Structure 1
Amino acid sequence: MKTILLVPTGEGVGLTSASLGLVYALECQGVKAGFLKPFSQEKNQPTDRTTALYRHLSNNETVEPITYESLIQQISLGESDELLEEAVRLHRQIAKQHDVIIVEGLVPTSRDAFASDFNAILAKALDAQVIVVSNADVNQPAVTADKVDTQLRHLGGAANDRIAGVLFMRTKGLPEDSEQIPVTLDPSLRLISDTNEFVASIQKTHAHIGSENLPVIGLVPFSSTLSVPRISDLAAHISAEWINQGEASQRRVLHSSLIASNIEHELNKFVAGELIISASDRIDVLLASSLASCNGIPLAGLVLTEHHEPNATVLAFCQSAIKNGLPILHTPLSTFETAQSLSNLSNEIPVDDTERAEQVTRFVSSHINVDWLVQILNGSYKPRLSPSAFRHELVQKSIAAKKRIVLPEGDEPRTIQAAAICQSRGIAHCVLLAKPEVVIEVAKARNIELPHDLEIIDPDLIRENYVPKMVELRKGKINELQAREQLQDTVVLGTMMLALDQVDGLVSGAVHTTANTVRPAFQLIKTAPDYSLVSSVFFMLLPDEVYVYGDCAINPDPDAEQLAEIAIQSADSAKAFGIDPRIAMISYSTGTSGTGADVEKVAEATRIAKERRPDLLIDGPLQYDAASVESVGQSKAPGSPVAGRANVFIFPDLNTGNTTYKAVQRAANVVSVGPMLQGLNKPVNDLSRGALVDDIVFTIALTAIQAEQQAAQ
């Protein structure tokens, strides 16, 4: 068991973000990390903020900290030993289920001056290694180092064996572009040269900081884009009432603008993510905000100040904007007072803002030195493919693959944003099939920065090139006129590009049905030589492990031969993504406990799959609980190499598979990545029409890795 205590140098260093970021970084290394905050410093709060965020983000349980009131009372009574005993008890509760525990220390404040000394004795009580967490300014290395040194003195000095390293958070003075990065994903963003330069500057006056014995384990830039509140977080802060709440819990305030002069001189301020602040008698501002919203510009919201809120007649003119979700607030404060109050808004992440917490967590994680993590753990854990590790590996493998992926739905907003992320991060070279002017217009309205090398191809300019080739590929089935007509569909056009090796993979489905995406692939790409059918898998990202479910999207009622092939395809897909497959052939019966045609089909499929691939661990028929729960597996199928330990689940038909995956996804609130199609000559993948930007990004990554795997065969 390894325990790491994070000790801050003071307030505002981003201690919560550092703690959660380190937990996530460990998850990405396959380490099951627990979290403990022994002592709360929040007055009269039933739930601790960091603890609640950890629960939301990790889907893991932890213990509630000792309340601030109890902490102060016991310290004033000289009962520090009793406090430490209670902290150890909480630590032991979590230690039962985790390889590593990240502990958040106390923050030294003017109110809690005892915190630094108490952290030192807490480190001893928990037998923890210590990371000092400090904010930093690369232009003031000596000032930054002095903060660290002050904290080190409380901990017994830099020579103390417990001191494991220094983590610099909210670092100012780094190049502007270092914060303008997508935070959806988590491959390493480490600023290695900036870190080395900063450490060299520090060592001119403080040689021990950044040395081998006291390494700098991360330099995390300050990011204004990650400090943005939702408009719903502002209302109470400025004593405002809602005129229209709309999408207040989703829209974020990237910038704010006071509108004081003539509206024609202020129209440049009406852009995505902007909070417009104006006196409530400025009806022109209300109407301009409404028009911007109707034109597809997602303003953060509108705050009307002073006087009284607009009358019903004026609001009636704004119904389209209100239906589009434009948040509108009214506050009795003056325009200046409102702006002043908003400038003092805390950077702390609210308990319910899990989207921002997740982005910050991944951002911090990606700046932590992975080599240091591996070294400090020193083999004291058993790696596992956690959901975080799966996502991390997915992105890393796709970056290494360097594949070209076509996106036929090139003017769809989520697809454009996903393509921009993938292109800028090197996840894939994306090709959008759409009119460039439409893509630019959508990107501008939604504040999406298009990378300069993002490829946008106007379908009208290339369609005719594919007519002869399509007629040749579908010889005897279509003529030129029919080919030209079918190529009006950008999915067909993209599939032709794939068939002719002009791209490496295709992703579609954000606005098309599965049939629309898959049918052209069946006709033009066809199945791989070793397979007779196309099937699909979902990667189910459960809290502790990644499961593979097949087939949940394509084949309604496969026979035994087809079911065996689906099992083999799914096992190979699992291997391609770092999962060592243990395959359970699912049925309503385990072994010979039940009879009937459905059970016999699964038994026969199991026999065929074992015969074709003796290298795989396959067993069936198995009921779902016998396959997934160890105690049930031992009882119902003793001696089975799969029962109770399965991670690849093959369902007997589409009805069972689709129902199960959706039930697990919704009831357990887990992420499912897919469906990923398997068995085709070239990778084509389908999206759900409700896909989020993240879903599209991960599907693009999956497709790139599939292309690399097929190229290597």
Structure 2
Amino acid sequence: MTRSVYVTGIGRGDGRQVVELGVMELLSRRTGRVGVFRPLAHDGPDPIYDLLRSRYRLSQPTGTVFGLGYDEAAAHLAEKGTDALVSRLLERFRTVARDYEAVLVLGTDFADTGLPAELALNARLANEFGAAVLPVVAGSGRDLDSLTAEVRNGHHAYASLGCDVVAMIANRVSDGLAGAAAGALRGQLPVPVYALPEEPALSAPTVAQIAAALDAKVLLGDPAGLSRDVRGFVFGGATLPTFLPALTEGCLVITPGDRADLVVGALAAHSAGSPPIAGVLLTVDRVPGEETMALAARLSPGTPVLAVPGDSFATAGRLMSLEGRVTTANPRKAEIALGLFEEHVDTALLADRLSVSRRGDRVTPMMFEHQLIERSRADRRHIVLPEGTEERVLRAAEVLLRRGVCDLTLLGEEAAIRRRTAELGIDLGLLGPEEVPDGTGAWARAVDPYDSPLRERFAELYAGLRAHKGVTHELAYDQVADVSYFGTLMVREGLADGMVSGAAHSTAATLRPAFEIIRTRPDAEIVSSVFFMCLAERVLVYGDCAVNPDPDAEQLADIAVQSAATAARFGVEPRVAMLSYSTGTSGSGADVDKVRRATELVRERRPELPVEGPIQYDAAVEPTVAATKLPGSDVAGRATVLVFPDLNTGNNTYKAVQRSAGAVAVGPVLQGLRKPVNDLSRGALVPDIVTTVAITAIQAQQGRRTAGGGPGRTEGTEESDEAVEE
């Protein structure tokens, strides 16, 4: 039976998008097919639905998402009455419910709807849909007594109308009151109550949103600059010495276009980081001359400069009512919203109250990714990111911190990292060199290998490890200043639990330090890799598609055993297919014989592990083909771990499946190292980095539980320096 969740409110200004996004995240963790239904909609784009469709890869036909427009609904209500309107909307809802395991219903927004008794209509619809109700109360501007009374009244309003209220959420609660409000209401209502504090980064509009609202002309600025949050406004009219001290972090400078001195001064202050501004808005339809604009572009590349025809006073009036929105155009705000929701809502309890259960062994790509985030959050580890000034890494770092995935060390010059985050409008809350984390949430710190007190210690360690290669202390001192080596040494020394790199470095630059310093586990023959291939209905594990060009039979067997263990660690039941161009005994030749020998070795080393080989890909994954080519096999047609005979085959296959079948390829995930170090593709997107860091954190959790082995193998690692997958 479809389980529906009806997110609604009791009035305007509740910032309900945060809750709608959070509930969608919760539902998509638990089930593979989630539908969306908005009974009543305004004309034009629907920002929250567009965001849900994009973020959660919804395939639902857009025509089924919306019931009626408000004008049509009001006319229908006036002409035929409430029962007729509800009946029509119920019919549209059932069309969605038939096709999906869960449905998120987006209630009316109490904004210019023209509907009488709007709360009662939401309650009636929720009851007819058989949906659990999750009311959201606006907390902005309320004191503690007023807020708690409003939450109680909201619960009474929906419960008295027969609704199944599963929880109450107070959103946008004034600073410092969220904890007190939740505590004051605990036990006073028969349902859980959660309070989400006001988050300035959500309510702040971006420069791009302001430009759109004012129909401003963009004179300067790149996409990263236009995505900066505007946290305040500073109006420029005074002399430069008076003007500069008034600048605040994240402010939008509003000044007449003929004040070239203030434009240049504001951008120079931003470039110096004192303070970083969001941008400049020029008024009165004036623009500085070409030389001034050229200087502005050189002073602070990417910082937006906008122009509007109105004067500063009229422009200010239009800006004061403008608030930020969580939209497809700004995925960063979505991550902030999810982090806020997950921090202040007991999502496990809420999911149980919604009676949304996981669907057996079925794992969709979205569910797999969510499981990674959940597991990494459960036992937070410390990950080092060597590429501390790379934009994608910084954006991923903000997501990781907001979601509480791990603690982070970013390598690079601290001033450069702070300047870059300011330019990108990113808030990492970097700790100072002597600051101690307060233990309340995930934290990040910047460390510069060149002037770190650890450099001397690391040089001595590295010189000792590589003395057999002629590495002196002087050479080691220079080498460990390299961010990849410094990060790897942090992992070796237990100063970080794992490392992720490769967004701006080659695979060899990431792996060579790991082979030299971390080394291979005693129980592993070689270092290898897997990709988690997330198809529409299942997750497959491919190995090795990134490291070993032409493994022999013994190495291939080791790859298979390691890949099976990795699969099991991440919730995929291992059934191993040793791939070849021949199935069973139908072919012969050196390549087939290698796979056949490797299969025998796997059976000797792991008798309990289901393994089949040699076997062709189609016989491994398709039951009908398996029934013909290899009847009676426990693996054929049901394989979950596919081991390729060489890198050429594996690398091309994973990319073909990724691009042609629309699979999500998570990896490469390295296996066989004593401590987790993982590589990124240089084309990695922000979500790829987030996922890889989460996997690394989970590997570190496992490593900590099984720690206690002696020093790793040194033989067999030197030749692996020639890692090839980029």
Instruction: Sort the TM-score into its range (normalised by shorter chain).
Output: 0.7 to 0.9
Q: RMSD across aligned C-alpha pairs, in angstroms?
A: 3.9
Please tell me whether the aligned partners of residues 420 and 449 of structure 1 are also in contact (alpha carbons under 8 angstroms).
no
Please tell me whether the aligned partners of residues 557 and 654 of structure 1 are also in contact (alpha carbons under 8 angstroms).
yes
> Which residue does 1:231 correspond to in 2?
207
Counterpart residue identity of residue 176, structure 2: L
> Which residue does 2:184 correspond to in 1?
198
> Which residue does 1:76 correspond to in 2?
78
> Which residue does 1:7 correspond to in 2?
8
Distance in 2 separating the partners of 1:436 and 1:417: 16
Deviation at 1:634, TM superposition (A): 6.9
Residues 428 and 39 (structure 1), Cα distance of their counterparts in 2 relative to 1, 3 Å cut: closer
Residues 80 and 421 (structure 1), Cα distance of their counterparts in 2 relative to 1, 3 Å cut: closer
The answer on 1:302 being equivalent to 2:280 is yes
The Cα offsets for residues 423-449 of structure 1, whole Å up to 9 and x where unpaired, read as 898755545555556556656666542
Distance in 2 separating the partners of 1:377 and 1:246: 43
Distance in 1 separating the partners of 2:183 and 2:253: 40
The answer on 1:326 being equivalent to 2:328 is no
The Cα offsets for residues 68-99 of structure 1, whole Å up to 9 and x where unpaired, read as 04423322321655544444444344334543
Distance in 1 separating the partners of 2:12 and 2:305: 34
Counterpart residue identity of residue 8, structure 2: V
The answer on 1:450 being equivalent to 2:463 is no
Residues 332 and 426 (structure 1), Cα distance of their counterparts in 2 relative to 1, 3 Å cut: closer
The Cα offsets for residues 12-45 of structure 1, whole Å up to 9 and x where unpaired, read as 22333322211212334x33362332423212x2
Deviation at 1:362, TM superposition (A): 4.4
Compute the TM-score of the two structures, normalised by the length of structure 1.
0.82
> Which residue does 1:131 correspond to in 2?
134
Identity over aligned pairs, percent = 35
Aligned mate of 1:102, from 101, 104, 117: 104
| Aligned residue runs from structure 1 range 686-705, under 5 A | 686-691=679-684, 695-696=688-689, 698-705=691-698
> Which residue does 1:56 correspond to in 2?
54
Deviation at 1:151, TM superposition (A): 5.3
Count of residues paired in the alignment: 682
Distance in 1 separating the partners of 2:294 and 2:446: 43
Deviates more, 1:487-496 or 1:666-675: 666-675
5+ residue gaps, structure 1, are 176-190
> Which residue does 2:243 correspond to in 1?
266
Residues 587 and 335 (structure 1), Cα distance of their counterparts in 2 relative to 1, 3 Å cut: farther
> Which residue does 1:316 correspond to in 2?
294
5+ residue gaps, structure 2, are 437-444, 707-726
Distance in 2 separating the partners of 1:292 and 1:632: 68
> Which residue does 1:554 correspond to in 2?
547
Residues 597 and 343 (structure 1), Cα distance of their counterparts in 2 relative to 1, 3 Å cut: farther
Deviation at 1:349, TM superposition (A): 3.3
Please tell me whether the aligned partners of residues 5 and 105 of structure 1 are also in contact (alpha carbons under 8 angstroms).
yes
The Cα offsets for residues 476-528 of structure 1, whole Å up to 9 and x where unpaired, read as 32142544454443433443454455554333334332111211222233211
Please tell me whether the aligned partners of residues 500 and 678 of structure 2 are also in contact (alpha carbons under 8 angstroms).
yes
The answer on 1:613 being equivalent to 2:590 is no
Deviation at 1:301, TM superposition (A): 2.4
Distance in 2 separating the partners of 1:657 and 1:405: 29
Please tell me whether the aligned partners of residues 542 and 650 of structure 2 are also in contact (alpha carbons under 8 angstroms).
yes
Distance in 1 separating the partners of 2:344 and 2:629: 47
> Which residue does 1:683 correspond to in 2?
676
Please tell me whether the aligned partners of residues 37 and 96 of structure 2 are also in contact (alpha carbons under 8 angstroms).
no
Distance in 1 separating the partners of 2:315 and 2:644: 58
Distance in 1 separating the partners of 2:10 and 2:639: 46
Match of 1:317, SS state, is helix
> Which residue does 1:179 correspond to in 2?
none
The answer on 1:536 being equivalent to 2:522 is no
Please tell me whether the aligned partners of residues 504 and 682 of structure 1 are also in contact (alpha carbons under 8 angstroms).
yes
| Aligned residue runs from structure 1 range 107-506, under 5 A | 107-109=109-111, 111-136=114-139, 140-141=143-144, 143-144=146-147, 147=150, 155=158, 157=160, 160=162, 162-174=164-176, 194-199=180-185, 207=188, 210-211=189-190, 214-216=191-193, 218-244=194-220, 246-247=222-223, 249-268=226-245, 273-292=250-269, 299-320=277-298, 324-350=301-327, 352-378=329-355, 380-382=357-359, 385-387=363-365, 390-395=368-373, 397-398=375-376, 401=379, 403-409=381-387, 428=406, 430-431=408-409, 434=412, 448-451=428-431, 452-453=435-436, 454=445, 456=447, 458-460=449-451, 461-480=453-472, 482-499=475-492, 503-506=496-499
Distance in 2 separating the partners of 1:391 and 1:536: 19
Counterpart residue identity of residue 280, structure 2: L
Residues 398 and 304 (structure 1), Cα distance of their counterparts in 2 relative to 1, 3 Å cut: same
Deviation at 1:226, TM superposition (A): 1.6
Counterpart residue identity of residue 284, structure 2: E
Residues 658 and 109 (structure 1), Cα distance of their counterparts in 2 relative to 1, 3 Å cut: same
Compute the TM-score of the two structures, normalised by the length of structure 2.
0.81
> Which residue does 1:20 correspond to in 2?
21
Match of 2:42, SS state, is coil
Distance in 1 separating the partners of 2:396 and 2:226: 22
Distance in 2 separating the partners of 1:566 and 1:252: 47
Distance in 1 separating the partners of 2:107 and 2:623: 37
Distance in 1 separating the partners of 2:118 and 2:630: 55
Please tell me whether the aligned partners of residues 540 and 546 of structure 1 are also in contact (alpha carbons under 8 angstroms).
yes
Please tell me whether the aligned partners of residues 108 and 114 of structure 1 are also in contact (alpha carbons under 8 angstroms).
no
Deviation at 1:631, TM superposition (A): 7.1
Please tell me whether the aligned partners of residues 203 and 323 of structure 2 are also in contact (alpha carbons under 8 angstroms).
no
Match of 2:40, SS state, is coil
Match of 2:11, SS state, is coil
Please tell me whether the aligned partners of residues 459 and 490 of structure 1 are also in contact (alpha carbons under 8 angstroms).
no
Please tell me whether the aligned partners of residues 35 and 54 of structure 1 are also in contact (alpha carbons under 8 angstroms).
no
Counterpart residue identity of residue 677, structure 1: L
Residues 334 and 369 (structure 1), Cα distance of their counterparts in 2 relative to 1, 3 Å cut: same
> Which residue does 2:723 correspond to in 1?
none
Distance in 2 separating the partners of 1:415 and 1:198: 40
Please tell me whether the aligned partners of residues 406 and 494 of structure 1 are also in contact (alpha carbons under 8 angstroms).
yes
